[in-house]
Structure 1
C-alpha cells in the first residue's frame, strides 16, 4: 500500500507536473458543500431530539366552558396522582399573544378567552386515560399532549433530515464521478510518457501507483481546503445564532457531532475518492497499454 501511494522519487520525476488541475477545486467544492449540508442535518436532528424530549410528559389543558368548568377540570387533575404540576396561563398573556396575531382588532373584538393550562405528568402517568376521564366529567375541557401538537413540525424536520442524507449520497456519487473523470484526464495527458515507461519495462502496478499518487495528493489538498473553508463559514454563521441554536437545537450536542463530522468526513471522502480513482485507472490502463 505504501508503494502504491509513494512510488520512488526517480519514477515521480518522470511524470511532468501540471500547473493547473481541476481535481483539487472539484474535490474542495464537494467537501465544502458536504460539510455544510451535514452540519445542517445535524442541527435538524438536534432540534428533533430536543423538541421530543421537552414535550415528553407535558400536556395542554384547554377549557372553553364557564369558569366553573375550568375549576372542576383543574380540581380533577390536581386530585390525580399522575399529575405533578398545573400552571394556568394568565389571561393577559393570552390576550397579548392574540394581539400579536390580530393587531389592534384584538382589543376591539373583545373575544372570550379560553382557560389554558400546562400540565406536567409523572413518568408513570397515563395521559390518555386521564384525558378520557376528564372528557367524561367535564365535556368543555380537553387535554392534549404536546407531542401531538408538535407532530407536524417533527415530521417535517425528520423529512428534512432524510433529504440531507440523500443529498450527501448524491454528493458522494458526484465526487466519485468527478474523480474518475480527473483520473482518466490525467492518464490521457500523460499517455505518451506512460507508453515510454511501459516500453522500458515498467509494470502496470508501477504506472498505476505513479498516476494514483498525483490523484491522491489532489484529493487530499482539495479535501483539506474545502474543510477549512467550511469551518470558517460555519463558525462565522453560527456565532451570531449561538443563542438560537443553544436554545432549541441542542447547542452542545451539535458542537460535538459537528466536530466529529468535520474531522471524519474529509478523510472519508479522500479515501473514497482515492479508491475510485485507483479502480478507474486500473481499468483505463488495461485498455490503453
Structure 2
C-alpha cells in the first residue's frame, strides 16, 4: 500500500515523500517586496517536506494584496529570493513559488494605486493595509484589452521565479483572488469574452496558465483552486460544470498538478478527482467566513 511517506515523481522532480507544505502568507518581506534572511531560515527549516509552496508572491505592484508580502516583478526581487531557494536546496528541499494576484482584494494605501478586478464590485469585509484593516474598495473594472496583460503577469513572474532558483510555480486561482474573481458569478459581471457562461468565466484562468506553461513549462506549473469557496464574498454558479470545464483545459495543458482546497462537499470533490487525470494535491479547510484570507 502506498503511504504518505513514499516518494513521488512530480514533473522532473522526485519528491522524497507526499507531504506538501501549503502556501501561507507571512508578511516578512522588506520594503520593495524583497525576500529577507528570516524567510530563508523559515523555508530551510521546512525543507523535509516533499514540496514547499511559498507564500503568495505578487506578480506586479497592482497585484499586491497585503502589506509586507514579497514580489517577483523586479530584478532586485529576483536577487533577494536566491538565498531563500539556495537555503532550501542546501537542505535537500524543493520549493515552488505561489504567484498571487490579489485583484480587488487590495487597497490604494498598500500599493498606491486603485485595485483592479473583473468588475467594479468590492470584496466583502475589510482588507489589510499598512495602517490596519480598511473596508475593501471598489476596484476598477479591467477593459477587455487589458485582461491578457494581467494573465501574462503570471508568466513573467514565473520566469523570474525560475531565475530566482524556484523549482516551479503555483498559480493562486483560489480564495477570492484575481483568478477566482474571474471564475465567480458575482465578482465577475462582465458581458464580454471573459464573463457570463462557464466557457467565458474560465478563460482568464486558462490564459494565465497557458502563458505560464509557455514561459516555464508544464512540469513547472501548478494551480490552486477552491471550488465553491466564498472567500472575500465570491460566489460561483454551476460549480460542477465550472470546475469540470476548467480541469479539462488544465489537462490539455498537462500542468504538473492541481491543488484543490476542500471547500466543496465530498461528492463534488470525488467528481472532480475523476475529472482530473493528473497529480492532485488536497488541502482541507476550516471555514472562517468572508474574512478568511486563504
Q: TM-score, normalised by structure 1?
A: 0.26
Question: Per chain length, whose mean CA-contact separation is higher, i.e. which structure has more relative contact order (CA < 8 Å, sep 6+)?
Answer: 1
TM-score, with length taken from structure 2: 0.26
Structure number with larger C-alpha Rg: 1
Greater share of residues in helix: 1
